[in-house]
Each structure stands twice: as C-alpha cells, then as structure tokens.
A and B are shown apart, each in its own frame.
Chain A
Amino acid sequence: MNKNIILYAAILIFGVAAPFVFPAFKVQLSILCILIILAITWNVQGGEMGYNTFGNILFYGLGMYLCASVQVGMFFPLAEWTEGGGEKTFVHTPAQFFQGFAVGLAVAAIVPAIVAGLIGYSILGLRGHYFAICTLGLGVAAGEISGGIEIIGAGQGFTTPPFPKVGSLEARGEFFYFCSFAVLIFTFLAVKAIYSTRFKLVLNAIRDNEDKAEAMGIQTMKYKIIGWMISAFFCGLAGGIMGGLVGYIDSTDVAFDGREMGVFMVLMAILGGKGTLWGPVIGATVFHIFKEGFWTFFLGWQYVALGVLIVVIVIYFPEGIMGWLREKYPERFGEVVDEADRKAQVELK
C-alpha cells in the first residue's frame, strides 16, 4: 500500500512539475495526456468488455465540436463566427473564454455520453466483427456529416476562440496542459474506482462468455450501454480540450480523425496490454515517445517505421507490455508460482 502511495505521489509530482521542467514539451505532454485518456477509455470496451470499438472517435469529435460551439455560442452568434468569409472578428474577454470553456467541457462530456446511450441501445446487440465494422462506420459518417453542417464551419473548418491575453506567453500551453492532466487524473481515478467494483467483473463476464453471463441473470445490455457511456463521457472531455489545444477543428482531419486517433487508441491499448488498468497508460506513453521520435529521425518515413513497430508488437508482444511482464515476472503481479506443482502438471500431461 505504501508503495502505491509513493508511486502515485511520484507521478503526480512529475505531472505537476513537467511543464516547468520541460517547458518546450508542453504541447507534446498535453497530447500524451489526451492519448492516455483515449487509451484508457477504449480499454473499457476493447479490453474489459471484449467489444472492439472503432466508434469512440465519434465521442471525441463530438466533444470537440460541442466544446468550441458552446464556448463561442454563449457570447456571440455562432453562425457569424463560422461563416465562410469570416468577415467579423469577435474577441473573447478572459472571463468569457474561461467560462465558455468550462461550460463547453461540461456539455462536451454529457452530450456524447447521452449519444453513446442512444447509439449503444441500438447497436450493442451486435457482436464481434459486426460490432467493430458498425462502429467503424459511425466515425466515418460523423466526419462526412459534420463536414456539411454550415453552422460549425462545414468544410471551412472551425477556428476555436484564441486564448486571451493573460499571463505570460506560456500561459496558454500551461492552461491546456493542466486541463488535460487534470482530466487524465479524473479519468484514471474514475476508471480505477469502477474497476474495483462488481461492474468490472460483469464486463469481464461479458467478454469471456456473454451468453453464460446472461444465463446467470446479468442484464448484459444494461452494463454494455453504461460502459460505453462512461467511455463517451471521458472521450468527449478529451476531445473538448484537444479542440482548444489545436485551435482549429477540421471535420475529418482533426475531429473525427478515425484514421489516426481512432486507430491509435486501439493500438496504444493493445501495445500496453488490453484488460489491465496500467496497460493503456504505459502503451500510450511508449507509443507517443516512439511516434515523436520517428517524426524527428525518420522524416518522410515515419509511418513506415510506425508500421514496423506495430508488426514487432503483434509478433513479440501479442499480450502487450503488461501481458509480457506478467508472463515473465508473474510473482510481481501477486501470482504465486509453485514450481514443483507446475512441473508436476507438465509431467502429468
């Protein structure tokens, strides 16, 4: 228990000190936080529940558009802000900016959760590949549809409100970093708390044998929907922050970016180890570092390098980093290995 506290304190101190110790990396660190949130939330479905979803990008993009729209719409006419020619320029006062952002984030979390409930009700009956393909369509459709809605900028894109002039030059970076770090902690603790309840066992039961779980009297549909709503809630928050951080929302390249973010969240969770609490965190961190490294050292070939990395992961770490560690050092995961017993079993066979 003590070690736990030390670990969490260390991470917290690292997280709080990071933007000051590595001021040049604030944006990368903020994106790392966002990536970890996405990996953790994907893991709720893909890892614990056994439902491989490509649809979480829908909630991320939805959150992004909602947060920015609310932030603008609370104080100025949204249609004029996003109007094609952009003839008018509105400037948020600091108070307006922060109020708008706070309310925007709340909306960006709640609405996607509701949407997840509604969509989940209709498609969570699908299983396996059918569910994966169906969710893949959700993200693509959302990108195309949002690219045609004039009030959120359509194909022109949506420039989010510029950060007001408060504090030093670094204020913007620090603000978004701490937002994303705070949401990351919130997400982690919430998911950790949920994993310590019966809820996680139900999700695992669904993953291992859904029919049996149902036969035992578990209302699997209810749990599946709630699980997805929880993911959507945090994905929406992550999207909202990311929109503000990037400063410009494009329907298919930034918001409903299934080709990148949508795939990355799956990769990161698998790299770290599906179905574990720490796996997605580690996976996202390793992935982000590799990705940034490839961008710097293999300019123009970064996706080839990334592809090789994925192949290596799949061949050598099919269970992810956590799975590999667990196999290698089972005793460190609190598993007791009785060598004599193990040998005896092998001999029996």
Chain B
Amino acid sequence: MKIKKIIITFVSAIAILFSTSVVSLAKVVGDKIILGAAISLTGKYSSNGVHTQNGYNMAVDRINSMGGVKVGGKTYMFDIIYYDDESNPKRAAQLAERLISQDGVEFMLGPYSSGLTKAIAPVTEKYGVPMVEANGASRSLFTKGYKYLFAVLAPANLYLDVAIRTAVELNGGKGVRIAQAFEQDAFSQDVRLGILDAAKETGSKIIIDDKLPKELNDMAATLAKVKATKPDVLVVSGHTKGALTAIRQIAEMKVDVPMLAMTHCDAAKLSKQHGANSQYALCASQWHKTLTYKDDFFTDGMTYDADFTKEFGYAPPYQAAESSAALLVFKDAFERAGSFDQKKVRDALAATNMQTFYGNIKFAEGGQNVDKPMVLFQVMCDDAGKCENKVVAPLKWASAELIHPIPKWSDR
C-alpha cells in the first residue's frame, strides 16, 4: 500500500506548486497602467488576432512616447499583458478570469471576434472590470445589459445593410434576389440578421440561405447553386478564411453575379493575395484610411496607414485601426476620471464623446458605438493588375464610383 504514500507526496507537491506560483501584479505598478488582453495568437482567428495585437501595441507605443496618460498630476505609461486564447471561447473565459484574479488586472482590452467577447464579457462584468473592446460586433453583446463593456465599433448587423440598400436602389427601388452564405459563428450570424432585416424592409427575396462550417475551406456547393439560380446579390461572411475561400472559388468556378458583398476583405489582404480575381468585391469595413477623421496621436487615417505599414510591414486592416482606437478611448477616460477607481473609469467611459483617426466614438446605453457609420469599399484594379480598396459608400466619403454590375468572367 506504499503507492498511497506516493500519491500523498504527489498531492502535496501540487499544493506547493500552486502556492508558490501566486504572483500578484497590481493594476497600476509604479508608473504603469497594466491592461489585460486575451488574443487569438493561434487557431482559426490567429491572423486577425495578430492584427488586433499589432493595433494595441502600436497605440501603446504611440501614447507612451507622446507623454503617456496623465492621471491626478502624475504621468503613467500603458502596458499590456497578453495571453493566447487559441480562438476558443472556453479558453478566453478562463484567461479573463486568470487576468483578473491572478494577474490582478483591473482594466481589460477585448479579444478578437464576437464569440470570444461573448465568453469574456460575463467575467469582466462580474468583477466590474471595464473592458474596451474593438473586435466584438455581434448585436447580442449590447442587449445583455452589460455595464462594463464598451465597443468602439458599429454592431455587426449594420455591416452589409448598406450593400443591400445600394443594390435595391440600383435596381430602381425594386427588391433584389439575394443569395447568402454565412459561417456558423456569432459574428457572421449577426451579419445575416442584418441582411434579413434589410431584405424585409426593401422587399427583397432571399433565394439561397446557406450555413458554412467554421474552419471553412470550401463553399463550392453554395456557389453551384448561385450559378444555377443567378441571384442579384451574393453575400458571404466568414472572417478572413471566408473571404479568401469565396474569392478563390468564385474565380475557379467563374461564377457571375452582379454584386458580391463580403466582410473581412482587408484583413484577408484580398487584393494582394488574389489580385485581379478579387476585383469588384464589395466589402464592409469599420474604417478606411481615406476617411477624414483626425486626432492628436495618429493625425489621420493616411498617417496611421503609413506609420503602421512602416512598423509592421503591411497595410493596416480596420481590425488594427479599431484596436488602436480602443487605447485612445482608455487614455481619454482615465484622464477624465482622474482616478483608477473602476467605477469612476467606467462612468468616464460611458460619457466618452471624442473623435479619433478611426472615427467618432460615443457609446450608447448598451455599450456599442453609435457615432460611427460603416463604409463600403470596392476592390478596384488598374490595367497593370495593381489593386486597391476604394470607398464607394456612403457617398460622403466615396473616393470612387461603384462599379455595378460586375462584368461577366467571359468579358474580363
């Protein structure tokens, strides 16, 4: 029965291990404000996770180098503790708990994607930890009555609403026939709800309504149906992989459709990866570099684009821009609150009303940003095959005219 002895030794070893590994970091150490973030560094959202992280880092460096955050007459610098949530909601919730109760973080930045934000929000809410998130757009996040959740982006149901309305307008105000395919995740399903609403209001008909699996690499079945039924608009949403898969297979199968509306084109670097094949794709975006918003830190969109490209070697997708904006919001709120009391910071956040290079930010009761519309851009290529994303709607910021309908593959 000596085996029991081994087990006892084992159990006590665990106890010792646990007790020695308790390291408590306070939220504000010396002159540092420590923020916590769970980011998808691996898994299906890893590329967007990295955009998010780069956006956060870029803003931290910029704010710190420009004098930091002034609270109560003292200057503080931002610092972020990152963990990898593996694109998994279960892990994300666990990490939020860990950041708050083990690392002592008192202010959080959001993860990438609506699903992960949905998993983290109950935890931050429970502890009363203010979280400014930049990548969770699902509408259901803002109807749960969360008090400590603030999103700098417009809710997901508005993403492609404009595209449908534009298509109807171009159709002489008559309803259009819509084919749609959405990934089975919180964000894309919400985009779908937005389309359903828009279709109802404009009298449009949805003729294909497909669901795509996560980890999506093939949507040939949907495209075959599209080829057969010839809808007026094809809508696809499935994060970066969805955008890449759609363009690849549409080009392979030579699917002709007058309007192709998608999400995540810039995060997927579509125009770079697929060149002329991605031409004419219409993309919903939270931000575009040509928009004329300004702030003191990044000056404007064009400057942000240039600085980001210099630092990270690729043009910033809107996921990076909105992440940077989250830090600006935090800085502003800390300074207005004049304290690190979580409740005061929360109230200051709720009262936010500012302009950043990314757009105006003002939070509604539910925490969503109501002061910033979505934009639509279209991938346009010149004869040399160089492609660029140009804003086509809303008209206020349009830098090019929408090309509609998309020329047939046989004429390209």
Contact = CB atoms under 8 A, between A and B. Distances in A.
A96 interface: no
Contacts of B143: 85-89
B398 interface: no
Interface residues of A, number: 62
Given A253-B90, A282-B10, A329 B2 contact: yes
A199 to B, nearest CB: 23
B184 interface: yes
Contacts of B182: 155
A11 B94 contact: no
Contact of A157 (B2, B19, B42, B89): B89
Interface stretch (B119-127, B254-262, B293-301, B305-313): B119-127
Contacts of B189: 84, 154-156
Interface stretch (A18-26, A202-210, A216-224): A18-26
Contacts of A253: 87-90, 115, 214
Contacts of A23: 101
Contacts, number: 166
Contacts of A333: 3
B183 interface: yes
B186 A157 contact: yes
B84 A84 contact: no
Contacts of B10: 282, 285
A37 B119 CA distance: 23
Interface in A246-260: 246-248, 250-254, 257, 260
A289 B10 CA distance: 12
Interface in A1-54: 3-4, 6-7, 10-11, 14, 21-28, 31
B139 A86 contact: yes
A332 interface: yes
Given A21-B19, A247-B122, A300-B42, A156 B190 contact: yes
A27 B211 contact: no
Interface string B97-123: 110011000000000000100110011
A278 B3 CA distance: 10
Main secondary structure of the interface of B (DSSP, over half): helix
A173 B87 CA distance: 23
B29 interface: no
A250 B183 CA distance: 13
B41 interface: yes
B17 interface: yes
Considering residues B19, B87, B214, which has the most beta carbons from chain A within 10 angstroms of its beta carbon?
B214
Interface of A: 3-4, 6-7, 10-11, 14, 21-28, 31, 84-89, 91, 144, 147-148, 154-157, 159, 162-163, 169, 172-173, 242, 246-248, 250-254, 257, 260, 278, 282, 285, 289, 295, 299-300, 302-303, 325, 329, 331-334
Given A159-B122, A247-B93, A254-B88, 12 more contacts: A4-B1, A11-B11, A24-B101, A27-B97, A89-B144, A154-B184, A157-B118, A172-B126, A242-B90, A246-B93, A257-B88, A278-B7
Q: Ordered nearest first, which 6 A-B pairs have the shortest CB separation?
A: A86-B140, A155-B184, A332-B2, A248-B119, A247-B122, A24-B102
27 contacts: A4-B4, A7-B4, A7-B7, A22-B22, A23-B101, A25-B18, A28-B94, A28-B98, A85-B143, A86-B143, A87-B143, A144-B213, A147-B184, A155-B182, A155-B183, A155-B186, A155-B188, A157-B186, A159-B118, A159-B144, A172-B126, A247-B93, A282-B10, A285-B10, A302-B42, A325-B3, A332-B3
